Amino acid sequence: MIRAKFHNYIIILLSLLILTFLVLYSIQSLGYLNTPVEERYLLKDQDALYGPSGLYGHGVGFLAAFLMFLLWFYIIRKHWKRLRGVGRLSQWLKYHMWFGIVAPLLAGYHAAFKFEGLIGVMYWAMIAVMLSGIVGRYLYGHIPRRRDGHEMSMKQINTERASKLRSLQMEFGISPDDIKKFQGLTPQLDGIGTLLSLYHLAVFDVKRRYQLNQILKDFETRYGVSQQNLIFFKETVEKQLVMSQRVIVLDAVSKVFHWWHVIHKPFAYAIFIVLTLHIILTISFGFTWIF
Ligand code: HEM
Ligand code: HEM
């Protein structure tokens, strides 16, 4: 818990640093970036600073590429068994996402928002992968996981659900009838197909807060949950509801997440190859920055 917070603070701090940097950079380079591409060569001094091969623009390119390479550490950590004990996978994913959002943002400034040639196409591929990453994160969050970020087996899910239900019955005295009513909040959706399951997943997400408030209010007044136990009670009810809704759509989410991987990965590898070529080519053409 403390470690998770520590990583959240690091990410907030890094975000503030990058945001400050980008605001200052935008203010300084506004005149140049606002000039039409074909007239920029007239602004020689500014081009030498903010152009893709300029002092700052080129430097930002290095930073973007550095972050692009760092985001692969999540993939290495995930697949290389020797690194299994090194930090929680879920924390690594947070950094992966952060690098995956910030690197394309910086790359835009590096290119001075002019996207031409193969590397220009690759830039849009990067943006597509970044956006698809956000969709992937949504699906990822709906697959029940252990605290370390690894997927739970069906047996683990059922054990956890049963233990939460037992807590509600034994520790808070919720009657079997109320438990049934509570379980009725999650409809049975047998055989409805993938698309409709995804629709229900979104509906669950939108409605859940409201459903929780209703049921918590009802249970609290009727069962008189003590102030001491209130947090634990709320957590137990919420976890039970979340778990039961996720299980209902699990097959569909797992299937779509699998397809998502199939599309996301080749794009990511292509970006990696084109970026490496871009760096090798520009350096071999004599763009060596400050070195
Ligand atoms: C994520 C990383 C990067 C992306 C997405 C990226 C993308 C781009 C794009 C779209 C352009 C503009 C192409 C044009 O003018 O038509 C460009 C230019 C350039 N990039 Fe990068 N770049 C990245 C990293 C780097 C790095 C690390 C270097 C240094 C080795 C670099 C060196 C250059 C140079 C020198 C130019 C100007 C080339 C010229 O004026 O002909 N880039 N880059
Ligand atoms: C251009 C940037 C990005 C690249 C090149 C990239 C690359 C990758 C790759 C190669 C994988 C496959 C990992 C595996 O082998 O299982 C992956 C997984 C993933 N990425 Fe990204 N990604 C990028 C940006 C993002 C962003 C912006 C997000 C979310 C905000 C994101 C979220 C995810 C998620 C949720 C997974 C699945 C994790 C898992 O199944 O373990 N990615 N990414």
pLDDT digits (tens, 9 = 90+) for 144-177: 887 777 888 888 888 888 888 888 787 778 888 8
CA angle 219, 224, 228 (to 5 degrees): 105
Is residue 256 within 8 A of residue 139, CB to CB? The reply is yes
Q: What CA–CA distances, in Å, run from 248 to 106, 183, 198, 203, 237? A: 40, 12, 11, 13, 17
pLDDT confidence band for 92 (50 / 70 / 90): very high
Q: Can you tell me the distance from the alpha carbon of 280 to that of 287, in angstroms, rounded to the nearest whole number?
A: 10
pTM of the full predicted structure?
0.87
What residue ranges line ligand 2, CB within 6 angstroms? 71, 75, 78, 93, 96-97, 100-101, 104, 126, 129-130, 133-134, 136-137, 140, 264-265, 268, 271
- Ligand 1 pocket check for 66: Cβ under 6 Å: no
pLDDT, tens only, 219-251: 888 777 777 777 888 888 888 888 888 888 888
Task: Kindly list the domain boundaries of the chain, sorted by start residue.
Answer: 2-148+259-284, 154-256
pLDDT, tens only, 18-42: 999 999 999 999 999 999 988 998 8
Q: Of all protein residues, whose CA lies closest to atom 39 belonging to ligand 2?
A: 140
> Does the structure show a pLDDT above 80 at 49?
yes
pLDDT, tens only, 114-138: 998 889 999 999 999 999 999 999 9
* 169 against 57, higher pLDDT: 57
**DSSP states of 197-227 as a string?**
HHHHHHHHHHHHHHHHHHHHHHHHHHHT--G
